[in-house]
Structure 1
């Protein structure tokens, strides 16, 4: 697989600050996502937290996912638009987390998961018929089924506070990736309306649950 220079730059932009944060606790604390600090005006954390990670495993998982799916988005949009999708997904993920956890002063999080999920969802929207294989699933499954299932699980995780995972950031990132992909490539709406509609289904469900106060 040929990896574009912009993907390498994004990976390094995650690796370098993350390793600094592993060794420097004050650096990590200064730039992580923290509801109380953001409410006090430190909005830069909405961006900077997306380039920090808890540990090497967390970092490796996100960067491997990015490595596999970034080339699809770069191939369709080019380097600049890829960066826009990445950054908007990162910010969208943290904004949804901010809204979802707004009453939890001490809630904190780090990681590129929102941005990476946005790239993943953009890649699925662009190539919904590609097949994804996983260690725990013996038969590769269509990407669109994985995308829908992943977001439905994220809704479940948000409602039930499952694990130490930022489900809201994942979901917000996916929304960012979905919306900006359609803005960059609006012909998808009439070229493959069924896929566009199916991939929007979890987003609609989340909106309905939010409006009915069931989250």
Structure 2
């Protein structure tokens, strides 16, 4: 279970402060949200700032609670500085994938820390693949790697079918960020968890094959 280290406190506080500012200040929210048209015009700060804005308190709470649950594993294995590299790198890669998939949709907008949080989730799964997760709708624990693979497959389905008002591509991009950055920061995983690395790579490869075939 999560532990309130100083790094987690700072990240959650930054998300809360910036999100609540956005809740009460429409012009602030509009200025810093992810928007394709504005980013193409040169407002690159939105690639970063949008990861600290949220639609409402439930959106903020869900992301921060998910971060709280998984952050400890990453902190224990990688330490504070590398945790931040994974978090910020995943945030940016999540938004880069959104930009790639929606580059022709200049009206497309999004906010939320989901990409960064998914990066931390996938880093934690790589670092401790045998940990068990309890999901609200499944009464028995499931291995983290099963959740990881299943969630990426669902994200592909969500991207293909535009399911809900959810940035599935940002989630997927964040997961790729967590996966790749963690392997760079912890190369010893190739000796210890090579099978797990291969299994988690399968949905990522599938996404880019489908994109290449114009199936998504």
Q: What is residue 22 of structure 1 aligned with on the other side?
A: 23
Deviates more, 1:32-41 or 1:183-192: 183-192
Q: What is residue 51 of structure 2 aligned with on the other side?
A: 50
- Show structure 1 runs of 4+ deviating over 6 A: none
Q: Tell me how far apart the structure 2 counterparts of residues 75 and 191 of structure 1 sit (CA, whole Å).
A: 17
Q: Tell me how far apart the structure 1 counterparts of residues 99 and 58 of structure 2 sit (CA, whole Å).
A: 25
Q: What is residue 102 of structure 2 aligned with on the other side?
A: 101
Preserved contact between residue 3 and residue 68 of structure 2 (Cα < 8 Å): no
User: How far is the alpha carbon of 1:193 from its aligned partner?
Assistant: 1.0
Q: Tell me how far apart the structure 1 counterparts of residues 136 and 210 of structure 2 sit (CA, whole Å).
A: 32
TM-score (norm 2): 0.98
User: How far is the alpha carbon of 1:190 from its aligned partner?
Assistant: 2.1
User: How far is the alpha carbon of 1:214 from its aligned partner?
Assistant: 1.2
User: How far is the alpha carbon of 1:53 from its aligned partner?
Assistant: 0.2
Structure 2 segments unaligned to the other structure (5+ residues): none
Q: What is residue 41 of structure 1 aligned with on the other side?
A: 42
User: How far is the alpha carbon of 1:57 from its aligned partner?
Assistant: 0.3
Q: Tell me how far apart the structure 1 counterparts of residues 141 and 131 of structure 2 sit (CA, whole Å).
A: 9
3-state SS, counterpart of residue 140 of structure 1: strand
User: How far is the alpha carbon of 1:210 from its aligned partner?
Assistant: 1.4
1:63-82 Cα offsets, whole Å, 9 max, x none, are: 00000111110111110000
Q: What is residue 206 of structure 2 aligned with on the other side?
A: 205
Structure 1 segments unaligned to the other structure (5+ residues): none
What count of residue pairs does the alignment treat as equivalent? Answer: 215
**Structural mapping, 1:7-18, within 5 Å:** 7-18=8-19
TM-score (norm 1): 0.99
Q: Tell me how far apart the structure 1 counterparts of residues 168 and 62 of structure 2 sit (CA, whole Å).
A: 15
